[in-house]
Amino acid sequence: MATPATPAAPTARAVRNVAFVEGVRTPFGKAGDKGMYADTRADDLVVKVIRELLRRHPELPPERVGDVAIAATTQTGDQGLTIGRTAALLAGLPKSVPGFAIDRMCAGAMTAVTTTAGGIGFGAYDVVIAGGVEHMGHHPMGEGVDPNPRFLADKLVDPSALVMGRTAENLHDRFPEITRQRTDAYAARSQERFADAVKAGKIGPELVPVAIRSAELGWGLATEDEQPRPGTTVEQLAGLKTPFRPHGRITAGNAAGLNDGATGAILAGEDTARELGLPVGMRLVGYSFAGVDPEVMGVGPVPATEQALARTGLSISDIGLFEINEAFAVQVLAFLDHFGISENDERVNPWGGAIACGHPLASSGVRLMTQLSRQFAERPDVRYGMTTMCVGIGMGGTVIWENPAWEGNK
């Protein structure tokens, strides 16, 4: 009797290029009872983003979306219940399209992108929608959490590790050359750059208008960010209080605000994008996430960037544009000082950052990517760009992108 043939072992598969097609976001609101989204649900913000992506790209058949990954840091209430799946259903995607929720605190949307990009690269699906949402007015950071007492009892982390503002003060302690004067100057510059970008029409085309409702004012339409304070001066910032430490250095002016908002992006295999006629805004080169001491979480982008550069064979001098999330000015300056980059460098956050427009935690990673993609279109002289951010509980994340409009490709 013949011996049954042994099934052939699966062969290794080539990894496909992954394209960032386009990103959009809602205007970012101020968290709280007086914020413009006080009476708007978090999942409805995500629905607006998904519908806008599909509206902008009628060449994408909805049934071709292979997954929907939506991040939220506080996964409860109107941003719970596996929000990627529920938002996909609410947005009108076919019921055959699955979805999931993801959490890496501030890097939630960034992780939604890198996770689904891996799936595209391996061929698990061709097109995804990835993004994030945070309604800090409905769900303040840390709402309902119950940290294991061992973190403090066993001295696994410093008590300050669970309060982001205190970790930023710790970063000042570690790098005394980063003074409050430097952080206030950086913050004023972020406000100025953002205001200039709005005036020039660089910030705005990516925004999704959102119908909003107020019991006091009735219905309205959110069309711009609520957080920015154009005209902010260093002198004004110098007079602000330091809530995390007496005579400290962190203020409401040199840190991002508490915000509500959602972001989303279409990712696709580059071959699928060409097949469907989808634009290729950026091409994924590589990424890395790294852990650091939780009490100085703001330094996280440094090792994450070093790892990402090493894995891609690039150096910091190859990066022509940086989108760095401005959770705190001190964290951005620590990154720049480490890599020998001037805090006035025009490659860094040329359109301002989160200190001006806000930081709705898990949504911010895709805001960075969306801005970088739009900058690439204007800068054919730049080949590589980077999105990077610090992450709560002591992490950092960095993603490196290639500009398909780079003149060297022509």
- The pair of structure tokens assigned to 115 is 């996770």
The Cα–Cα gap between 85 and 362 comes to: 17
Q: How many whole angstroms separate alpha carbon 351 and alpha carbon 94? A: 37
d(C-alpha 244, C-alpha 234), whole Å: 20
Dist CA 402 CA 384 (whole Å): 5
**Which residues does 32 contact at the CB level (< 8 Å), separation at least 6?**
38, 137, 258
Write the DSSP symbol of residue 193. Answer: H
Angle between helices 329-339 and 301-312 (to 10 degrees): 40
In order of 1, 7, 8, 9, 10, the CA distances from 4 in angstroms are 9, 9, 12, 15, 18
Determine whether 357 is an active site residue.
Answer: no
CA distances from 395 to 166, 337, 388 (A): 16, 19, 11
Of 18, 15, 60, nearest to 268 by C-alpha is 18
Q: Beta 65-71 vs 99-102: how paired, if at all? A: parallel
Query: Per the residue annotation, which of 57, 106, 138, 139 is the catalytic one?
Result: 106
Burial of 314 (0-12, 13-18, 19+ CB in 10 A): middle
CA atoms within 13 A on the CB side of 71: 28
Whether the Cβ atoms of residue 57 and residue 127 lie closer than 8 Å to each other? no
The rounded distance, in Å, linking the Cα atoms of 263 and 216 is 27
Tokens representing 287 are 């990424």
Which residues are catalytic, by number?
Answer: 106, 359, 390
